[in-house]
Chain A
Amino acid sequence: MRYVVKRFLMLIPVLFVVTFASFYLISLLPGDPALAVLGPGATAEAIAQEHHELGLDKPITTRYVKYLDHVVHGNLGESSTTHQDVTTQLKTRLPVTLELLVLSQIIAFAVSVPLGILAARRPGSLLDKLSTSGAFGLLAIPSFMLGVLLVFLFAVKAQLLPAGGFTRLTQDPLTNLKDMILPSVTLGLGSVAVYLRVLRSDMITTLQQDYITMARAKGMSQRWILMRHAFRPSTFSLMTVAGLNIGALIGGALVVEQVFSLPGIGTMIVTAIYQRDYLTVQGGVLIAATGYVLVNFLVDLLYGVADPRVRVDRAR
């Protein structure tokens, strides 16, 4: 319990930093922030009202508190282009990004776990060497390159899968999955490399432990030892790394959405940047950063709860 409380206390300052950073972005804009927020062509009254709204004459802390209040009430302003609420935009786009993240992780684990276990079972075997160097190579391929390559192969040449576009899961699950295959694979492959390397080395270390030798001596089957004694403990490392990987994933999702024109948070942010739609960018940054912080917190919590040693250790 102390552990949970401590983690939670850590979370608070981080959330303050995240919200303050996204709040402060608007102040970085050159020129009149009200004009920037409203977009060119705003009327004089609208600008005056926005000045009042932004409270530019007030101290920064007052403005920040007001911003926090708005955020807590789900008011992130509206787009200067379409006048749509930023919150509404986030609501329609968040599920897309989340689906992409989840699917990519399913793919990543489905590929990396069996490969990692097999590689760890016989370090130095052909499979091990291939998967290890493959992982190293994957780490050097940016997601946009992989995406472009997959589009070229599977959409343009083979015409097996869509090159882009999106159908809602609720509308047509099958088409939705088809749309999501290439993007998820693109994003997932990057994680495969990371997870494979972690799992492999972690399990190799474990397999050298005394208790494994003991289990072997007791005549337990190789498969039992691998799964029960070696893989289970390694899931902790895997979880840790998966949590840490979220930051990279959010970044990757942004680019992958762009490559496949998926209507997620990433395309929203990039389009908004090109439209100089600052409140939308701000909202997107806030949600992505907060999401990242929260996921990390959850993984951390889970990790602590799952492994009693951590709980004690870290609470210290």
Chain B
Amino acid sequence: MSRDYSRRQFLSGGLTTAAGLVLVGGGAGGLLTACGSSNSSSKPGGGSTSGQITGRSSATPRRGGTLRMGLESDFNSFSPATGQFDTAGLMYASTVFDTLMSLDAQGNPQPYLAQTMTPDAQKQVWTMTLRPGVVFHDNTPLTSAEVVNAIQAVQKAALTGPALLNLDTVKATDGMTVVFTCKSPWPAFPTYLCGQLGYVPTPKTLSDPKGGLHPVGTGPFVFEEWVPGSHFYANANKNYWRKGLPYVDRVEYNTMPDSTTRDNSLLAGTVDIIHSSDSISLHDVPGKPNIEYLTDADNNVGEPSMDMSMINCMDPVMSDIRVRQALAYSFNADLYQKVHNFGLYKTAYGLFPGNPTYASSTKLYPTFDLAKAKSLVQAYEAEKGKLKIQYSTTNSTRNAETAQFLQQQWGAAGIDVSIQQVEQVQLITNALLGKFQVTAWRQFAAPNPDANYVWWSIPTSAPIGQSSLNFARNRDQQVQDALQTGRTSLDEATRTAAYNTVNERFAKDLPYIFANRTTWGCYANKKVQNFNGLDLPGGQPALSFSGGLFYPMCTWLSA
């Protein structure tokens, strides 16, 4: 179903801040942590016979060499203000840029380019001091001016601006100090600076309309060449402020949207490491000679990424709740797992699959009931005529397969489904602008659920034709209130209750029909070491592999 998977996630992460994605973190780590999360990276290494590993090594790093990677997509621009950063986009951006904050293994934001980040008592005014001695690739020093410029750029941009609606002002108080003033208490604010919104490019990268084609940042690698849709090359930054990093001399990213092409390239040695959220990789690759892998299935920090069908609730047809219900009732998610995912993924209902804290809201989600779906369709058609919808997905064959599965399932309920395939960048653009009815989608990984605020809130929704980070355009006041509570409350129980409400409302509004939790795998040749072993400047381990993001910066190649 999703969609997904494959493709770009979307922006999800991207976009905004991604948001989500990965990024976000944790503010409260606790929230979700309470339930279940464990820190995934703690699994002892070595791993099972099939070659599952932690991707973290304590051996002495070996320097040099070229790390060749196969990613599932790329994006449209390196500029955080205009780029639709999905998983691959975040990896690209993290190559040349650094974020102000970064998530630790528990999903809590820790200073990265920042040296300290201190809130006032209400957690409404945040004061950041910058790390001294950081220089951009063009040898200009990093000061508060560049940081303010970067934040203001994303704050003003049509794409990313809505994610920072709650940020009132950002000001430099001296050369190395930046003060962020929020409109309400915002405990999770620092997590927003862990992703797309927290990258600091040079002012020129942001102001030049083509700056997104030749990015200059402070990151571990220096941009060399990017051929969109094909590859991106960068060379080690010899003056990187984190002494000793990176280990490899050069990184080469190759865009390979087709998961089996990626798998085959890894097996044939064309690339050294790949990521994939397609179950076919998990089905085919583990156990192959000389291959090790890692999945984020056990990484329960926060909210997982979900594979789903996302619905445009402002579309004239889809705004009828009966249609959304019919789609939900006629989708046999268990069968989908069996047919498409080889039984490797578990069906998910709701935003928090398998999380007992949210069990009460999770059970409200519709489950497969074809008779009910049929009667809903009949009721709709009696009133409004033949029910025809278009399902959009990316141009990969595995996604086309999912599309045809849905077409058959929804067709059995009497819904006439046509399929549209577009490239992932275009799919995301269409979602932003509301030019879809139902679309394959993958999103919502967030160590802190507040990071998903922008995707679900009323202020970030816009009519069809205008850019809306609330892609599904579901405007539910109860969701909005709960999101606001979750954002501003300092009490864990209150926050949990708030997100339970969100989950409950989604079961009623049905803006998303979930299929399963996205499981990302990272598959590598055995010579690739420590691709999940990043430590933050403070010494604590960074967030373990999740949402498809691994860390070329700390990776080395043994012999």
A196 to B331, CA, bound (A): 55
Closest to B467 in A: A41
* Selected interface stretch from A62-70, A219-227, A266-274, A299-307: A266-274
Among A83, A156, A261, A275, the residue within 8 A (CB) of B213 is: A83
Q: Is B279 an interface residue (CB 8 A)?
A: no
Q: Is B116 an interface residue (CB 8 A)?
A: no
Taking CB atoms, residues of chain B closer than 8 Å to A41 are 158, 429, 432-433, 467
Say whether B265 contacts A165, CB under 8 Å. Answer: yes
Q: Is A159 an interface residue (CB 8 A)?
A: yes
Taking CB atoms, residues of chain A closer than 8 Å to B477 are none
Q: List which B429-475 residues lie within 8 A (CB) of chain A.
A: 429-430, 432-433, 435, 467
Say whether B227 contacts A263, CB under 8 Å. Answer: yes
Q: Is A74 an interface residue (CB 8 A)?
A: no
Say whether B429 contacts A40, CB under 8 Å. Answer: yes
Among A81, A151, A179, A276, the residue within 8 A (CB) of B228 is: A81
Q: Mark A242-281, 1 if CB is under 8 A from B, else 0.
A: 0000000000000000000101000110010011100000
Among A81, A89, A165, the residue within 8 A (CB) of B271 is: A165
Say whether A82 contacts B433, CB under 8 Å. Answer: no
Q: Is B510 an interface residue (CB 8 A)?
A: no
On chain B, the number of residues with a Cβ less than 8 Å from chain A's Cβ atoms is 39
Q: Is A93 an interface residue (CB 8 A)?
A: yes
Closest to B256 in A: A261
Closest to B77 in A: A82
Q: Assuming the A-B contacts A84-B213, A165-B270, are A155 and B77 also in contact, with contact meaning beta carbons closer than 8 angstroms in the complex?
A: no
Say whether A162 contacts B269, CB under 8 Å. Answer: yes
Taking CB atoms, residues of chain B closer than 8 Å to A179 are 270
Say whether A263 contacts B229, CB under 8 Å. Answer: yes
Q: Mark A71-91, 1 if CB is under 8 A from B, else 0.
A: 000000001011110000100
Q: Assuming the A-B contacts A156-B267, A156-B268, A263-B227, are A40 and B423 also in contact, with contact meaning beta carbons closer than 8 angstroms in the complex?
A: no
Say whether B210 contacts A166, CB under 8 Å. Answer: no
Q: Is B304 an interface residue (CB 8 A)?
A: no
Q: Is A33 an interface residue (CB 8 A)?
A: no
Say whether B423 contacts A159, CB under 8 Å. Answer: no
Q: Assuming the A-B contacts A163-B261, A165-B254, A263-B231, are A39 and B429 also in contact, with contact meaning beta carbons closer than 8 angstroms in the complex?
A: yes
Taking CB atoms, residues of chain B closer than 8 Å to A79 are 228
Q: Smallest Cβ distance from B538 to chain A, in angstroms?
A: 36
A274 to B269, CA, bound (A): 29
Say whether B423 contacts A274, CB under 8 Å. Answer: yes
Among B209, B265, B433, the residue within 8 A (CB) of A40 is: B433
Say whether A162 contacts B270, CB under 8 Å. Answer: yes
Say whether A276 contacts B254, CB under 8 Å. Answer: no
Q: Is B264 an interface residue (CB 8 A)?
A: yes
Taking CB atoms, residues of chain A closer than 8 Å to B435 are 40
Q: Assuming the A-B contacts A274-B422, A276-B426, are A163 and B213 also in contact, with contact meaning beta carbons closer than 8 angstroms in the complex?
A: no
Taking CB atoms, residues of chain A closer than 8 Å to B198 are none
Q: Smallest Cβ distance from B95 to chain A, in angstroms?
A: 17
Q: Assuming the A-B contacts A41-B432, A82-B76, A261-B256, are A155 and B425 also in contact, with contact meaning beta carbons closer than 8 angstroms in the complex?
A: no
Q: Mark B353-381, 1 if CB is under 8 A from A, else 0.
A: 00000000000000000000000000000
Closest to B255 in A: A261
Say whether A261 contacts B269, CB under 8 Å. Answer: no
Among B258, B267, B395, the residue within 8 A (CB) of A159 is: B267
Closest to A152 in B: B264
Taking CB atoms, residues of chain B closer than 8 Å to A162 are 265, 268-270
Among A39, A93, A276, the residue within 8 A (CB) of B227 is: A93
Q: Assuming the A-B contacts A84-B228, A159-B268, are A261 and B425 also in contact, with contact meaning beta carbons closer than 8 angstroms in the complex?
A: no
Say whether B432 contacts A267, CB under 8 Å. Answer: no
Say whether A274 contacts B268, CB under 8 Å. Answer: no
Among B209, B229, B256, the residue within 8 A (CB) of A164 is: B256
Taking CB atoms, residues of chain B closer than 8 Å to A155 are 264, 267-268
Say whether B426 contacts A274, CB under 8 Å. Answer: yes
Taking CB atoms, residues of chain A closer than 8 Å to B269 are 159, 162
Closest to A79 in B: B228
Q: Is B486 an interface residue (CB 8 A)?
A: no
Say whether A164 contacts B210, CB under 8 Å. Answer: no
Taking CB atoms, residues of chain B closer than 8 Å to A276 are 422, 426
Say whether B425 contacts A81, CB under 8 Å. Answer: yes
Q: List which B388-445 residues lie within 8 A (CB) of chain A.
A: 395, 421-423, 425-426, 429-430, 432-433, 435
A276 to B433, CA, bound (A): 15
Q: Smallest Cβ distance from B424 to chain A, in angstroms?
A: 9
Q: Is B230 an interface residue (CB 8 A)?
A: yes
Say whether A83 contacts B77, CB under 8 Å. Answer: yes
Taking CB atoms, residues of chain A closer than 8 Å to B212 are 82-83
Closest to A264 in B: B230
Q: Is A125 an interface residue (CB 8 A)?
A: no
Q: List which B241-264 residues lie within 8 A (CB) of chain A.
A: 254-256, 258, 261, 264
Q: Assuming the A-B contacts A83-B212, A275-B426, are A261 and B432 also in contact, with contact meaning beta carbons closer than 8 angstroms in the complex?
A: no
Taking CB atoms, residues of chain A closer than 8 Å to B255 are 261
A83 to B228, CA, bound (A): 11
Closest to B211 in A: A83
A39 to B158, CA, bound (A): 15
A155 to B68, CA, bound (A): 17
Closest to A93 in B: B227
Q: Smallest Cβ distance from A184 to chain B, in angstroms?
A: 16
Taking CB atoms, residues of chain A closer than 8 Å to B267 are 155-156, 159, 163
Say whether B422 contacts A81, CB under 8 Å. Answer: no
Q: Smallest Cβ distance from A17 to chain B, in angstroms?
A: 30
Say whether A81 contacts B76, CB under 8 Å. Answer: yes
Q: Mark A283-298, 1 if CB is under 8 A from B, else 0.
A: 0000000000000000
> Residue among B256, B269, B270 with the most chain A CB within 10 A?
B270
Taking CB atoms, residues of chain A closer than 8 Å to B265 are 162-165
The 9 closest A-B pairs by CB, nearest first: A263-B230, A274-B423, A162-B270, A163-B264, A155-B268, A275-B423, A165-B270, A271-B229, A163-B268
Q: What are 25 residue pairs bridging A and B, where the CB atoms are less than 8 Å apart in the complex?
A: A40-B429, A41-B429, A82-B212, A82-B213, A83-B209, A84-B213, A89-B227, A93-B227, A151-B264, A155-B268, A156-B268, A159-B269, A162-B268, A162-B270, A163-B270, A164-B264, A165-B70, A166-B230, A261-B255, A263-B230, A263-B231, A267-B230, A274-B422, A274-B426, A275-B426
> Which residues of A does B touch, CB under 8 Å?
39-41, 79, 81-84, 89, 92-93, 151, 155-156, 159, 161-166, 179, 261, 263, 267-268, 271, 274-276
- Apart from the given pairs A41-B467, A159-B268, A275-B425, 7 other A-B contacts in the complex at a CB distance below 8 Å: A81-B425, A155-B264, A159-B269, A161-B268, A164-B256, A261-B261, A275-B422
